[in-house]
Structure 1
Amino acid sequence: MPMDDFPRIKLDDLRTDFPGVFDTARYTDVGIGWLPLIREFVAEALPHDPALCVHEIKEKFGTMRIWCDTPVLGARLAKGKAEFKSSLTCEVCGAPGFLRRPPPSRFAWWRTLCDEHASEDQRSWGTRHQGPLYGMMQIVGDWYRYDEETDSMVPCEPPERFR
């Protein structure tokens, strides 16, 4: 299946499901496989910031990016968690997936896909290796990392190069 042909999340559906949160959003451009991540993000962020306002959701370098206005730590951590988990979730179907990046000699989009939805070519690319910032984010000088066991962002020490 060509990557342009897979079903995408409709902004009108998000506006219906989450009144007020997506009212000013310009667009969404991600596959339906990431819909559970968006639902989880909103459900987790809203109790921390009832005025949460999402402006846009799109894919960049194979993972989801959420643009929203919130100064509230709990909501920002929920956003970071959803964005990180998109690197582990097939954008097409929501199954466990891998962030696949093309070899340096190829010009192609990075994608997070399961083996079923990755083309034979994409399966040959391998998966992105975990680097020193894997699952980490910084908010106002404090560092957090995704903890799979608790499914949450937890405080952590900064990576060595940032100390």
Structure 2
Amino acid sequence: MPMHDFPRIKKDDLVAEFPGVFDTASYTDVGVGWLGLVRDFVNEALQHDPSLTVHEIKEKWGGMRIWCDTEVTAARLAKGKAEFKSSITCEVCVAPGFVRRPPPDRMAWWRCLCDEHASPDQRFWGTRPQGPMYGYMQTRNGQWYRYDEATDSMVPSEPPAQWR
């Protein structure tokens, strides 16, 4: 599936829905399957940082990356949660997905897709293994957090084993 063969989130829609947050964004280019993650991030982050400004949202290595201005830890945790959840959510339809990475001899984008939206070829690519950093993030003050699926939140955590 070529990169843009499915509907994308439009910056104008985000500007209309979240006045002031996306007005100066230079780039917003992810599939509509991640719209709920973007909305959840912004709504959660704005509760903690009303001056939140998002500069860019894009797909990188099969997951969503959000560049924004906020020093507020709770808002940064909302960003980390959205980015992590994008690596397990189909970018097209919101169904559970897998980061599919092309074989080493193949030049192609990594994508997070469910089996329905992955091309027949992509279904045979490897899915990205869950490595030791899976679901973890570290804040600027050095505190580690990990995504807890049961509570759908980032919870304080010990560092991953290789960082202890």
CA shift for structure 1 position 106:
1.9
TM-score by length of 2: 0.96
Structure 1 residue runs without a partner (length 5+): none
Structure 1 residue 59: deviation in Å?
0.5
Answer yes or no: is 1:149 the counterpart of 2:150.
yes
**Bigger mean CA deviation after superposition, 45-54 or 95-104:** 95-104
Map 1:26-105 onto structure 2 (within 5 A): 26-105=26-105
TM-score, normalization by structure 1: 0.97
User: C-alpha distance in 1, partners of 2:4/2:151?
Assistant: 35
1:24 counterpart residue number: 24
Q: Following superposition of structure 1 onto structure 2, how do residues 118-133 of structure 1 map, counting pairs within 5 Å?
A: 118-133=118-133
How far apart are 1:127 and its partner, in Å? 1.4
For 1:110-155, what per-residue CA distance to the aligned partner results, in whole angstroms no more than 9, with x for missing partners? 0000101101111001311111000101112111100000000001
Name the SS of the counterpart of 1:88 in structure 2: coil
The one-letter amino acid of 1:162's match is W
- Single out whichever of 58-67 and 100-109 deviates more from structure 2: 100-109
User: For 1:104 and 1:149, how far apart are their aligned partners in 2?
Assistant: 35
Shift of 1:61: 0.5
Note the alpha carbon deviations across 1:67-99, whole angstroms, 9 max, x for none.
000000000000000000000111111111111
Identical residues among aligned pairs (%): 77
8 Å CA contact 2:37–2:86 kept in 1: the answer is yes
Aligned-pair Cα RMSD in Å: 1.0
> Does residue 1:162 correspond to 2:163, yes or no?
yes
Instruction: Please say if residues 3 and 109 of structure 2, whose CA atoms lie closer than 8 Å, have aligned partners that are also in contact.
Output: no
